[in-house]
Structure 1
Amino acid sequence: MIQRRQSERFFRAACAALFLTSACAPEATAPEAPDEATGTTPQAVIAGVSFKTVLGGRYVGAQNNGGGAVIATATAVQAWEKFTLDDINGGALESGDSVFITAGTGQYFQAANGGGSTLNAASANRQGWETFRIVKKSGSGAIANGDIVGLQTVTTGHWVSAENGGGGTVFAYGGALGDWEQLTISGLSGGTTPPPTGRKRVVGYLPNWYGSYASWVGKVDFDKLTHVNLAFALGDANGQLQLAPASDLATFVNAAHAKGVKVFPSLCGGGGDDKIAPFYQPARVDAFVDHIINYVVSNNMDGIDVDVEAPDRMGSVYDTFIAKLIAKARPRGLPVTAAVSQWMQHGMSDTTLRSFDFITVMSYDNTGTWTGAGEHSSYAQAQTALTFYSNKGVAKDKIVLGVPFYGYCWGNCGGSSSKYVLYKDILASYSNASTTDWLNVNGAQYSYNGLATMRSKATLAKQYGGIMIWELAGDVSSSSEQSLLRAIDSSIR
C-alpha cells in the first residue's frame, strides 16, 4: 500500500519486527459476550431457517428439538427442522458470514473437537466449536431462499455432511463442499434480518508496526468501518504467511466481528514483493494458495486482500496466481480484493483486474520524497483514477477510492529535506492544519488531505463502491472534530 520509492524505507522499518512473529493457527473463537472495548454485539437474528440436502432431499433436524444428534431424515419441515441463525457479522446474511445455529430448545449446533465427527445440537456455549461459516456454492454476496449453501466449521475447516445425502446422522467431517455437503436454505423471508442498508464500503488498513493488533481494539472506531485490512502478510521461506501472533489476531478479529466489521490479511505491500513473488511460480503456486486459504480460515478472517506493487514481477504468473486463489477462496465465501494504481496496472491483465470482488484504487503519491514539492493526492487525481478503472470495465460498485491519512514534507522537515508524515503529526505541530491541504510554514511545505477535501472525496466515492484509507494509524481520535475518519463517515453514509 505504501507505494514505489517511499515504500522501501517503511518496509525495512517494519520487517525487523515482522519476521520475528509466528503465525500459529489458533482455535478460532467467537466472543461469548461483549466487553467494554467492543460494546454490544449487533447480531442479525434470523428465525425459522431450514436446510434441505440437495442430493437426498431430506431436511436437517435437531433430534428432540435440541439436546441430541443432528439428523437428516425428515421429508417435511416441522419444529425439529426449523432453526435460528445468529449472524455474527450483522446486517444481511451473506456468503462467508459466521453464524451460530440454535434449535428450538435454544441449544447450539456443535462440531465436537471443532469438526471431524458427528454434529449435535446440545451445546449451551457460543465458542469456536459452535461457530460455522455459511457459504454459497456459487457466487458471493447476499444469501436468499433457494440458494445452495454449505456450513463449514471455523476451527478445522470441516464441512457439515449428510452421509449418502440424508437418511441418518449428520457429521462435520466433509473435506470439501461436495454432493453430501450441499444444502438448500429456506425460511429466510420470515426472519428478522434487516434488508441491505446500501452502506458503502469503508476499508481501513492497519499496519503491524505500530504495536500489537490487540492494543488497537480500543482505538479503532469499528462503527465507522466495514472492513479492516491488516498489513502486511508475507511469506516465509516455505510460503507460510507471517503477520502477527495468532492470539493477537484473534483478539482483534473477534472485536471487529462483534461490530460487524470484516477483517482481511493484506498480502505483500509496497516493497514486499520479494517475499511473495517467488511463490507465483508454477511449481509453488498451488501450495502457496493453500497456505493462504488455511491461514485465513484458521484465523477466522473474512477474505484476502492482495497488495502487490511490483508490476515488472507480475505478468502471467501473477494472473495465474490470482485465478487459482479466487478459485479456492470463492467457494468458501472468501472475497479476494486488490489494491491497484494506474502506474502499475500494466502488471496484470484486464481479465484479472475485473475478476476481483472489488478493487481499492491508491489515488495518492503523485509527489513524494522522490520529487519536489507538490500536491500528492488531489481531488482531480481521484476523479481521473476512478474514471480510468471504470473505463477498464470494472463495475462502479466494485471500485473503491483510496485516500491518504498521511502527507509529505519538503524543506525544513526536522532534520531531513523531505519525509512521509502522518496527518495526526502534522496536526500536532499546526493546529489549523485540518482546514487546508497545503501548509507553507517555517521553511517547510506540506501536502496532505484536510477535512474539506476528505469530505469531497467521500461524496465522490459514494458514487462508486466506497472509500479506502491508508492508514488508520494516521488519524486523530474519531471523537475529535478534526478526525478524517469522522469526516468520511459524515459524508459517505
Structure 2
Amino acid sequence: MLHFERSRMFLRTACSVLFLTSACTPASSSPDGQDDATETSSGALVTSGVSFKTVLGNRYVGAQNNGGGAVIATATTAQAWEKFSVDDINGGALESGDTIFISAGTGQYFQAANGGGSTLNAASSNRLGWETFRIVKQSGSGAIANGDIVGLQTVTTGHWVSAENGGGGTVFAYGAALGPWEQLTISGLPSSQPPPPSGTRVVGYLPNWYGSYASWVSKVDFAKLTHVNLAFALGDANGRLQLAPASDLATFVNAAHARGVKVFPSLCGGGGDSRITPFYQPDKVDAFVDEIINFVVSNNMDGIDVDVEAPDRMGAAYDTFIAKLIAKARPRGLPVTAAVSQWMQYGMSDTTLRSFDFITIMSYDNAGTWTGPGEHSSYSQAVTALSYYENKGVPRNKIVLGVPFYGYCWGNCGNGQSSSYVLYKDILARYPNAWNSDWINADGAQYSYNGLATLRSKTALAKQYGGIMIWELAGDVSTSSDQSLLRAIDGALH
C-alpha cells in the first residue's frame, strides 16, 4: 500500500487535459450542454468486472438492463448488471483521488445530470464532465484494493453518489459528504496475490486468544486462503455478540479483503454453547438473528459460520434458528456455513444440514486428552467423514474437509502434564524432523498430529470435494518455511 496521496486538479479548460491527450485542443460545446471536456487518451487503464456494494445495506449497485437506464442498488449478488468497467484516466494503479469513468455492459457511461443533485443513470455515450467521477477511499490514501470502502464524487459539483437508505432503490448523485449512504465496498479489481483455484475453498480459523487480530495482519498468508473464520463470537448477557474491538476487526477485515479473502465471524465454538444456545430459543431467536446480521454488516464481514457443538441443546430450536438466520442472511448476499462432525450430527435435522451454503467437517479429535494415545486425525478417518456427509445428501462441492494444525501429547508432556493439546509449531520446535511424520514416540511422550505428507494427501482428497478447512492458523510456522503446513496445502492445490 502506498503511503502518500497524489494531488490532482481537474481544470476547466481544454488545455487542462494536455497530460492525458498530449495535445491542447479548443474547447467545444457538447450536445448535453456540459462545459467540461475531459476526453482521455487510449492509454488510460480500464478494468472490467468491477462491482460496488453498499456498506450499510449490502446491496450491489446495478445498471438497469445492463445500461441505458437508471442506476439502482437492489441486488444481493453481483451479476451482469452489477459489473462495470472502470476507466482510470490517470493511468497506472487505481488510487484514491483518481478520476474515472464508469461504463455498464452496453458501453454506456454513468452520468450525473447537471453534475449532481439528482438521480444517477447509466445511459450516456459521452465522456465529459457529467460522466466524470473521482474515486476516494473512506480512510487512508494510495492504492485502492478489493474490499476497500470508497466513495464516488462528481468532479463538476462535488456531489457524492448516494444509495438512499443504504440500498434498496434508486441511486442518486446528491450526497453532501462521504457518509453511510455514500460508502461502497469495491471488488473485482486485479489482485496481486490471487487466492487458490476457483472452487477450491481454503478456510482457516483464527482464534482471538493469541493477540489482537490487527497483529495477525502481517502473519497470515492471505494468498493461500479463500476464507478466514474469526473464532469465536459469543453472546453477552443480552445476546450481543462479542469477538474483538471494532477497530481491530476493521484492520483485519480490510487487509483480508484487499487480498480477495472473505472473513466470517464463527459463532460459539466447542464449550461456548452456554453463551449462544440460550439466545436461539423461541422467545429470543428473532432478536438474536437480527443481532448477528447487524454485527456482520456493521463490521463489513462476508458471511456467518455457526460452530455450535452442543447436540443435546440443538434440536428443533437450532433448526428454526438456522432457518431464520439463512432467511435474513441470504437476501443480503451473506452465506451461512457450519462446522459439523459425525458425533454431534444427531443434534440437527438433515434438512438443516443441507441448507448451509457449505459445511466444514471437523475430521479430528478421534483421540485426545480424554483418551489414551491414538491417531487423532488419520487419512482414513477423513475418507469416512466425507463419505458420511455425501451419503447425507450434501453436494460434494459443499463439503469442506477439516484438518488439524495441532496434535495431542500423552506421557511426559512437560509442565507436569500427562496429556495436552499442542500446536504443530511447538511439536516442530521440540522435534525438528516432526514434519516428516504423524507420530512421535520419544522422551517418554507420544504425539499424534498431521505432518506434511498427510496434509498433502488430504488436500488431494479435499480437491474432489469443496475444499479444505484448517483449525487453526496459529498452529503453523511461517509459510516462508518448507515445513509449513499451509504451504504444503497450497502446493498440493496447484
TM-score by length of 1: 0.71
Q: How many Å separate the matches in 2 of 1:409 and 1:459?
A: 27
The reply on whether 1:46 has 2:46 as its aligned counterpart is no
- Give the alignment's Cα RMSD to 1 decimal: 3.8
- State the shift of 1:112 in Å: 9.1
Percent sequence identity is: 69
Q: How many Å separate the matches in 2 of 1:72 and 1:201?
A: 37
Counterpart in the other structure of 1:266: 266
The reply on whether 1:473 has 2:484 as its aligned counterpart is no
After TM superposition, list the pairs within 5 Å mapping 1:344-363 onto structure 2.
344-363=344-363
- State the shift of 1:72 in Å: 5.1
Q: How many Å separate the matches in 2 of 1:236 and 1:480?
A: 40
Residue 408 and residue 34 in structure 1: after superposition, are their counterparts in 2 closer, same or farther (change >3 A)? farther
Counterpart in the other structure of 2:235: 235
Of structures 1 and 2, the one scoring higher in RCO (CA 8 A, sep 6+) is 1
Cα shift readout 1:152-197 (whole Å, capped 9, x = no counterpart) = xxxxxxxxxxxxxxxxxxxxxxxxxxxxxxxxxxxx9xx9999x95
Secondary structure of residue in 2 paired with 1:345: helix
Q: For structure 1, which runs of at least 5 residues remain unmatched after alignment?
A: 1-32, 37-42, 91-96, 135-142, 144-187
Residues 112 and 131 in structure 2, CA contact (< 8 A), matched pair in contact too: no
Residue 374 and residue 44 in structure 1: after superposition, are their counterparts in 2 closer, same or farther (change >3 A)? farther
Counterpart in the other structure of 1:59: 70
Cα shift readout 1:208-240 (whole Å, capped 9, x = no counterpart) = 000110111100011111110000000111110
Counterpart in the other structure of 2:448: 447
Q: How many Å separate the matches in 2 of 1:334 and 1:477?
A: 31
- State the shift of 1:281 in Å: 1.1
Q: Give the letter for the 1:357 counterpart.
A: D
The reply on whether 1:120 has 2:170 as its aligned counterpart is no
Cα shift readout 1:435-492 (whole Å, capped 9, x = no counterpart) = 0000000110000000000011111111111100000000000100000000000012
Q: How many Å separate the matches in 1 of 2:279 and 2:112?
A: 51
Residues 66 and 105 in structure 1, CA contact (< 8 A), matched pair in contact too: no
Q: For structure 2, which runs of at least 5 residues remain unmatched after alignment?
A: 5-45, 53-60, 72-108, 137-143
Residue 198 and residue 66 in structure 1: after superposition, are their counterparts in 2 closer, same or farther (change >3 A)? farther
Counterpart in the other structure of 1:12: none
Counterpart in the other structure of 1:132: 184
Secondary structure of residue in 1 paired with 2:205: strand
Counterpart in the other structure of 2:116: 68
Q: How many Å separate the matches in 1 of 2:51 and 2:281?
A: 48
Q: How many Å separate the matches in 2 of 1:330 and 1:89?
A: 25
Q: How many Å separate the matches in 2 of 1:112 and 1:334?
A: 19
Residues 85 and 99 in structure 1, CA contact (< 8 A), matched pair in contact too: no
Counterpart in the other structure of 1:224: 224
Q: How many Å separate the matches in 1 of 2:113 and 2:279?
A: 49
Counterpart in the other structure of 2:303: 303
Residues 112 and 119 in structure 2, CA contact (< 8 A), matched pair in contact too: no
Q: Give the letter for the 1:323 counterpart.
A: A
Residue 277 and residue 342 in structure 1: after superposition, are their counterparts in 2 closer, same or farther (change >3 A)? same
TM-score by length of 2: 0.71
- Figure out how many residues of one structure are paired with residues of the other and give that number: 391
Residues 135 and 152 in structure 2, CA contact (< 8 A), matched pair in contact too: yes
Counterpart in the other structure of 1:341: 341
Residues 234 and 268 in structure 1, CA contact (< 8 A), matched pair in contact too: yes
Residues 45 and 85 in structure 1, CA contact (< 8 A), matched pair in contact too: no
Residue 45 and residue 104 in structure 1: after superposition, are their counterparts in 2 closer, same or farther (change >3 A)? farther
Residue 67 and residue 319 in structure 1: after superposition, are their counterparts in 2 closer, same or farther (change >3 A)? same
Q: Give the letter for the 2:49 counterpart.
A: I
Counterpart in the other structure of 1:172: none
- State the shift of 1:69 in Å: 3.2
Residues 160 and 177 in structure 2, CA contact (< 8 A), matched pair in contact too: no
Counterpart in the other structure of 1:394: 394
Q: How many Å separate the matches in 2 of 1:462 and 1:35?
A: 39
Between 108-117 and 261-270, the greater mean CA deviation after superposition: 108-117
